[in-house]
Amino acid sequence: MIDEIIQERRKKLDAIKAAGIDPYPARVKRSFAIEHALTKFEDLAASGEKMSLTGRLRSLRDQGKIIFADIEDESGQIQVVLKEDMLSDLAFWRSVLDMGDFISVTGPLFATKRGEKSLEAHELQLASKSLLPLPDKWEGLQDDDIRFRKRYLDLIAGDNLRELFKKKTIFWETFRNVLKHEGFLEVETPVLENIPGGAEAEPFRTHHNALDEDFYLRISLELPLKRLLVGGFDKVFEIGRIFRNEGIDREHLQDYTQLEFYWAYADYTDVMKLTEKTYKEVIEKTCGGLVTEFGGQKIDWSGKWPTVDYVEAFKVANDNLDPIEASHAELVKKAKDLKLEVDKGAGKGRLIDLIYKKTVRPTLIQPCFLINPPVEIEPLAKRHPENPAVVERFQVVACGTELGKGFSELNDPDDQRARFDEQMKLRAAGDAEAQHLDEDFLEALQYGMPPAGGFGISERLFAVLMDKPVRETVFFPLMRAKK
């Protein structure tokens, strides 16, 4: 069936070429987008002037001497009326046009007897001949594998999907605009690194042919941005791709967009205030309000977000087990009691985090700040002055998941080295996600980094706001190669 359709369309392509028409011209007539024609319809129609609109043919309704067609561009859809007395070569176009072709039509706007806004075609130009049939607009694509591999077809079939990605642009634009308004400088840092750092994640490795050396794809934006604080910048941020060689699930991608900012002479309480303010502006502009839905529950972002103490919440959810005082063996036992898979070489911090994600995180549905976790959890955060067993870190938690993280940045080079050393011991024991020791970063800290607050947010927040798995909210999620 598909072979017959392709063969028929190729015959039409040959007929178009035989008529001396370029089926793929470099340019066609276009006065403006369809949305403009619809918005300014009354004035444009009253003028009687001819204008050119372009778009993909989405329907053809042949009624003999007249053909009604719908064309669609990114901005909207409009009806085109093709009449024999106005379009002398209508018979030819009837014989070669197919659904999916791109065309340019020129003529005046008018309203039909039924009041439908339309363009009367006095001239037609082929913009691009389609050789394959389109998916049904109403049924769309049902196979997720095809949808993700051939996202362009998914976009053609579904208007709602295009609207989702327009919202994603608004999402990142608003973050960018708020930070610039607050005086932050947008910067770019390298994607390839000698030593991966700034997060606990397994990196991807690549080879640089010219330097004949292996490099890592960055797993975080953090350490280069902190070096800029050392260099004299006070407020910097970056929105860029990061890469983590981890599992695929509803919340995780292996390559995704992340924003991080660093703010000299601020601590995590300052960052929390800016974060709450920024999130509310981003959510309102992206979603049109401050109440969203996730998993059938209403999520209200509008009020003052409460703080939840990490250690206390952990104790309440785990029979008064104190994550600070508990031994490694006690944490292993608890994890196994919860039927959690404990990786070889998992240190105390990894065990605490594993148990927390099972027992505490799912209970945090409305937006809150989860603060002051044990020091083993966060190697790059400053210790709390009143309790050095915990660090000045917060996470934005809602819908049972983490949606951003910030902390008072560790700027003591000796403390940072000691924590890196602990991470390296975990790596030696088999923890592939433990952080690497970065001598260059430690040297930078020895020149002096001002006290600072930092924050990171990934596109997981957008997926949660849309109540979709994160793979649904990226254009081209990574897929296994077809064999």
Count other C-beta atoms under 10 Å from residue 434's C-beta: 24
Segment 230-267, tens digit of pLDDT: 999 999 999 999 999 988 888 888 999 999 999 999 99
Total-model pTM = 0.91
| Whether the Cβ atoms of residue 132 and residue 152 lie closer than 8 Å to each other | no
Segment 88-105, tens digit of pLDDT: 999 999 999 999 999 999
**173-177, 297-301, 424-428, range with the lowest pLDDT:** 424-428
| Whether the Cβ atoms of residue 37 and residue 77 lie closer than 8 Å to each other | no
**54-68, 238-252, 444-458, range with the lowest pLDDT:** 238-252
Please tell me the predicted confidence (pLDDT) of residue 5: 93
Please tell me the predicted confidence (pLDDT) of residue 308: 98
Mean residue pLDDT across the chain: 94
Please tell me the predicted confidence (pLDDT) of residue 232: 97
Where do the structural domains in the chain lie, given as residue ranges? Answer: 2-134, 155-473
Q: 1-10: long-range contacts at Cβ-Cβ below 8 A with a sequence spacing of 24 or more?
A: 2/132, 2/133, 5/132, 5/133, 6/131, 6/132, 9/98, 9/129, 9/130, 9/131, 9/132, 10/131
Please tell me the predicted confidence (pLDDT) of residue 433: 80
Q: Which letter does DSSP use for residue 296 in this model?
A: T
Residue 189 banded pLDDT, cuts 50, 70, 90:
very high
Correct CATH for 155-473 of 3.30.930.10, 3.90.1170.50, 3.40.50.12160, 3.30.360.10? 3.30.930.10
Segment 119-175, tens digit of pLDDT: 999 999 999 999 999 877 655 567 788 888 888 888 888 778 999 999 999 999 999
Quick one: CA dihedral 223, 225, 229, 235, positive or negative?
Answer: negative
Residue 463 banded pLDDT, cuts 50, 70, 90:
very high
Please tell me the predicted confidence (pLDDT) of residue 330: 95
Average pLDDT on 350-367 reads: 96
Residue 37 banded pLDDT, cuts 50, 70, 90:
very high
Could you tell me whether strands 117-121 and 76-83 are parallel, antiparallel, or unpaired per DSSP bridges?
parallel
Average pLDDT on 10-19 reads: 97
Element (H, E) at 147: helix 144-149
To which CATH superfamily is domain 2-134 assigned? Answer: Nucleic acid-binding proteins (2.40.50.140)
Q: Which three-class secondary structure state does DSSP give residue 106?
A: strand
Element (H, E) at 105: strand 102-107
How many residues in the chain? 483
Please tell me the predicted confidence (pLDDT) of residue 158: 73
Please tell me the predicted confidence (pLDDT) of residue 137: 60
Please say if the pLDDT value at position 31 is more than 90. Answer: yes
Please tell me the predicted confidence (pLDDT) of residue 139: 57
pLDDT exceeding 90 applies to what percent of the chain? 82
- Backbone φ/ψ region at 100: left (φ over 0), alpha (ψ -120 to 50), beta: left
Distances (CA, A) of 431 to 70, 348, 356, 436: 58, 12, 19, 11
